Amino acid sequence: MKSQILTLILFLLANVGTALKVVYTRHESRLLAVELSALESQQDEGLAEWSRLQIEQGWLADASQIEKKARGVLQMQQADNPQILVIRP
Amino acid sequence: MLLIFLLSSIALIARAVNLQVMETDFLQGQGEARFLREVTIPSTRGVISDRNGEPLAVSTPVDSVWVHPGQLLEYPDNIKPLARLLGANAEDIERKLSQRANKEFVWLKRRLNPEIAAQISALDLAGVYLQKEYRRFYPAGEVTSHVIGFTNIDDIGQEGLELAYDNWLAGSPGSKRVIRNRKGEAVEEVALIKESQPGQDLRLTIDRRLQYLAYRELKSTVRQHGARSGSVVVLDVNTGEVLAMVNQPSYNPNDPGHDKDGMRNRAVTDVIEPGSVMKPIAITSVLENGLAVPTTPVETSPGYMVISGHTIRDHSNYGLLDVTGVLTKSSNVGVTRLALQLQPEQMWDTYSRLGFGEVTGTGFPGESAGVLRNYRRWRQLEQATISYGYGVSATPLQLAQAYAAIANGGKLRPPTFIQGANNPPISVIDSRIAKLVATMLETVTSNAGTGTRARVPNYRIAGKTGTSHKASASGYADSRYVSSFVGFGPASNPRLVSVVVINDPTGEEYYGGLVAAPLFSRVMTGAMRLLNIPPDNYPAMLASTADGAGGQ
């Protein structure tokens, strides 16, 4: 009889314990979900930034831009025959 | 009294059972519908880049605004500030929403400017939401628009490779179920229904620098000669890769509009009667079938001949030529004399092996196969005209493919836009014959030839000029032409083949040698430099002979 009561109390305690654990875990999972969505949006932002930078690079590295700068700002010229020498055919 | 009490009790119990047992699903569903929501997880469309990884089409997120009409109409005062930010009329919006009052989702405006999106989000109005969508940008704009195409507002490919490779690029959006609070904010993710699959990237064989160069030169030539349209294609001889493909007129893929005429990738979708650039194909057939060698004499006087009542003319009387000379001078009479010795089937066979009358297999939307009629239906006159490029039609890409096969020792590589495509070489002509024809084509850019203006400094160039009358409803138009040049270089070890087609030049000049050849020369000069192809014609560049080299 005494041992039965003891088991009952044990189970009761265990029950309360797991119930608390459930509450705690649920709380934790919500926290993690919030963290996950924050990280996801951070990733999205990173990808968005990357795509914007790619487009920007595409525009800045446009051949017409480079040519304009090379010829205009840097005063570069295309090498012509007297300036190119073949040393060994 | 007791009876009434009993009856009402039974009625109540029945209703309770009905609600609890029979209609639980419905009620629970309704309850959940008020806070459980399925949300789509958008997927990004893959990046299209050139052969060196330079981006040519990139998607980037932008915000679109949508509303829940019922929620927004509860506070009609909110519509005014919203309309002001969107630059729209408040009454129009209200009318639009009232008509759709029973809906839960109505787009108000898509692809907002980021600043406006931020201001709308700051207003924090009930029933107004922002949704992230992707918008496609094309940094190279009109230079690559025909090849790449564009997508519509729902990010679905509409033209070009965006359309051809839509499935590959698109990826598939996922969805998840979330719990939402009263304000529509997701507070908990319940289940991931489907993971979003990002689209895959596509790497092209196009070289962006070469593409730009070809586009710039084509545009200025088309403008200079007042031409209606034009195309340039540059292929890698050894791999069949399309290095550049440009057309005029063009359009801006970032804002395509509705000008369907400028959207066609003419180099692939439009056919021309090629004229004289077909002569080398006929000569190939003659050589293949052992009817002549390059030095066989061909009499072309008096500069014209009559077949089935139709007069075939040369530009002038060239007298006695040899087979090489027929190409050098581009003699219609000479090539007709030679070609008429062939059986129609033999000639058709050569044309067909070199890809005429069949699509090249790039999978490009709207690709045309051109026309090469079956030899059984050829009459003598038709066989004669096909030998110099009338009565047969081809796309600029088909011409490039055929010349590339000649340049590549008779091995044809089907052209491709995609890196790593599987296009094994097919042996279509004997390599000895191909080399003979290539050598003969080199004389076209010699002093005696019609293509002197196609020369590229320090490189040996082989090719063929073409000038053909445009066919119109009432037969061949007298003063409307297609000028073309097809060629390859360096002739000692061909690396690049290029096709130039200028449609309907309206100026004084219309000969292929005067309109198309200079453009070919400028494109090839730039291409040789950009791709670092070693020169094969450099006596003037040798250190021992150059001026000023003595001091070194």
Of B137, B458, B538, the CB nearest to A55: B137
Asked if B58 reaches chain A (Cβ–Cβ under 8 Å), the answer is yes
- Which residues of B fall within a CB distance of 8 Å from A64? 212, 216
In which band, very low, low, confident or very high, does the pLDDT at B480 lie, cut at 50, 70 and 90?
confident
Q: What is the mean pLDDT of residues A65-75?
A: 89
Query: Does the pLDDT of residue B171 top 90, yes or no?
Result: no
Q: Are B210 and B193 in contact (CB under 8 A)?
A: no
Bridge partners (DSSP) of residue B323 are none
> What is the chain A residue with the closest CA to B208?
A63
Poorest-pLDDT segment among A22-26, A38-42, B440-444, B494-498: A38-42
Least Cα separation, residue B209 to chain A (angstroms): 6
pLDDT digits (tens, 9 = 90+) for B74-87: 887 888 888 888 88
pLDDT digits (tens, 9 = 90+) for B358-403: 999 898 999 999 999 999 999 999 999 999 999 999 999 999 999 9
Looking at this protein, which amino acid is placed at residue A26?
A: R
Q: What is the DSSP string of B223-275?
A: HHTT-SEEEEEEEETTT-BEEEEEEES---TTS-TT-HHHH--HHHH--B--G
Query: Does the pLDDT of residue A51 top 90, yes or no?
Result: no
- Which residues of B fall within a CB distance of 8 Å from A87? 543
Q: Name the percent of chain B lying above pLDDT 90.
A: 57
Distance CA B18, CA B448 (A): 101
Q: State how beta strands B229-236 and B496-503 pair.
A: antiparallel
Query: Does the pLDDT of residue B246 top 90, yes or no?
Result: yes
> What is the chain B residue with the closest CA to A61?
B54
Torsion angle (degrees, nearest 10) of CA B344, B350, B352, B357 = -70
pLDDT digits (tens, 9 = 90+) for B286-327: 999 999 999 999 999 889 999 998 999 998 999 999 999 999
Q: What is the mean pLDDT of residues B82-98?
A: 82
Beta strand residue intervals within B413-461, DSSP E:
426-427
Q: State how beta strands B320-322 and B297-299 pair.
A: antiparallel
Q: What is the mean pLDDT of residues B469-478?
A: 75
Q: What is the mean pLDDT of residues B475-504?
A: 91
Q: Are B465 and B520 in contact (CB under 8 A)?
A: no
Query: Does the pLDDT of residue B551 top 50, yes or no?
Result: no
Phi, psi of B296 (to 5 degrees): -60, 130
pLDDT digits (tens, 9 = 90+) for B7-52: 888 888 888 777 777 777 777 766 666 667 777 777 788 999 999 9
- Which residues of B fall within a CB distance of 8 Å from A81? 457-458, 540-541, 546
Task: Count residue pairs from A and B with Cβ separation < 8 A.
Answer: 70
Across the interface, whether the CB atoms of A86 and B538 are under 8 A apart is answered yes
pLDDT of amino acid B292: 93
Q: Are B445 and B455 in contact (CB under 8 A)?
A: yes
Q: B276 an active-site residue?
A: yes
- Which residues of B fall within a CB distance of 8 Å from A86? 535, 538, 541-543
Query: Does the pLDDT of residue B549 top 50, yes or no?
Result: no
In which band, very low, low, confident or very high, does the pLDDT at B186 lie, cut at 50, 70 and 90?
low
Query: Does the pLDDT of residue B464 top 90, yes or no?
Result: yes
Highest mean pLDDT pick, B56-65, B104-113, B210-219: B210-219
Distance CA B57, CA B136 (A): 7
The two structure tokens encoding residue B502: 């200028």
Q: State how beta strands B202-203 and B48-49 pair.
A: parallel
From residue B251, give the alpha-carbon distance in Å to each of B158, B172, B247, B300. 14, 29, 10, 47
Q: Are A54 and B47 in contact (CB under 8 A)?
A: yes
Query: Does the pLDDT of residue A85 top 70, yes or no?
Result: yes
Least Cα separation, residue B216 to chain A (angstroms): 9
Distance CA A73, CA A67 (A): 10
Q: Name the percent of chain A lying above pLDDT 70.
A: 96
Across the interface, whether the CB atoms of B139 and A55 are under 8 A apart is answered yes
pLDDT of amino acid B466: 93
In which band, very low, low, confident or very high, does the pLDDT at B342 lie, cut at 50, 70 and 90?
very high
Q: What is the mean pLDDT of residues B142-166?
A: 91
Across the interface, whether the CB atoms of B140 and A62 are under 8 A apart is answered yes
Q: Are B501 and B479 in contact (CB under 8 A)?
A: no
Beta strand residue intervals within B333-431, DSSP E:
411-412, 426-427
DSSP H or E run through A42: helix A2-60
Least Cα separation, residue B310 to chain A (angstroms): 50
pTM (2 d.p.) = 0.82
In which band, very low, low, confident or very high, does the pLDDT at A81 lie, cut at 50, 70 and 90?
low
Angle B241-B247-B253 from CA coordinates, rounded to 5°: 95
Distance CA B348, CA B353 (A): 9
Q: What is the mean pLDDT of chain B?
A: 88
Query: Does the pLDDT of residue B404 top 70, yes or no?
Result: yes
Q: Where are the alpha helices (DSSP H) in B417-505?
A: 431-442
pLDDT of amino acid A37: 81
| Residue of B238 and B94 predicted with greater confidence | B238
Q: What is the mean pLDDT of residues B474-500?
A: 90
pLDDT of amino acid B548: 46
Query: Which class for B39: exposed (0-12), middle (13-18), buried (19 or more C-beta within 10 A)?
Result: middle
Query: Does the pLDDT of residue B184 top 50, yes or no?
Result: yes
Of A33, A55, A78, the CB nearest to B60: A55
Catalytic residue among B276, B331, B483, B521: B276
pLDDT of amino acid B293: 93
In which band, very low, low, confident or very high, does the pLDDT at B96 lie, cut at 50, 70 and 90?
confident
The two structure tokens encoding residue A22: 């459930």
Query: Does the pLDDT of residue A27 top 70, yes or no?
Result: yes
pLDDT digits (tens, 9 = 90+) for A3-19: 999 999 999 999 999 99
Least Cα separation, residue A74 to chain B (angstroms): 19
Q: Where are the alpha helices (DSSP H) in B255-395?
A: 260-263, 266-269, 279-288, 323-329, 332-339, 344-353, 380-387
pLDDT of amino acid B550: 40
- Which residues of B fall within a CB distance of 8 Å from A49? none
Q: Can you tell me whether residue B215 is helix, strand or coil?
A: helix
